[in-house]
Chain A
């Protein structure tokens, strides 16, 4: 079963607002990844984090690898309608294989224009 707790489960915001979502785990992760999935599509990688404490940006997206290696957050600034979708955190468990990804249950983001 999945070992990542992702919150919130869903968010409904106005265009232009900032958004924050996070993932926590009782287990240590070696990497943290954030994906976006549109309806009927596969997940697409947004940001990858490889070191504890790492803070990485990709346009309006910013993500951090928690210092304890058990959590990560994703921020989206100045949301736009095309940000709508399901956002998943994922990672490689410490002590596990370095190819098998563990995913959270996702955060459904709705942006009201």
Chain B
């Protein structure tokens, strides 16, 4: 597709379950980002990939959160042993450039995670 695609759009998990959220960035985009958006808040940075390299994971809330982009295109955000406070929309974004200036970010529609 032409834009950033995320799946699933909606996920309901029981507390303690593991979840995996997928992001298909725009083809050829070097940079990929994950942001977390809690209800009524702005997005907050989680992690950044340049191609397959995870250059910054400083925003990941705990070691239960793990992200990968093994071939430099599709990325997966995994959350282990989900907790209620993990409930949020998880936004993926990609941009054409890497390095010093990543350029405009194009966001996906997000994956809304609800943990019961």
Contacts and interface: CB of A to CB of B under 8 A. Distances in A.
Chain B binding surface SS class: loop
Interface residues of A, number: 22
B54 to A, nearest CB: 13
A45 B105 CA distance: 8
Given A42-B93, A45-B104, A101 B45 contact: yes
Contact of B42 (A41, A44, A90): A90
Interface string A1-22: 0101010000000000000000
Interface stretch (A56-64, A65-73, A74-82, A102-110): A102-110
A88 B44 CA distance: 12
A25 to B, nearest CB: 13
Contact of A105 (B41, B93, B104): B41
A45 B102 CA distance: 14
Contacts of A112: none
B40 A100 contact: no
Contacts of A26: none
Interface stretch (B14-22, B77-85, B107-115): B107-115
B27 to A, nearest CB: 18
Contacts of B59: 100
Interface string B86-100: 000001010000001
A42 B4 contact: yes
Contacts of A90: 42
Interface of A: 2, 4, 6, 40-45, 48, 88, 90, 97-106
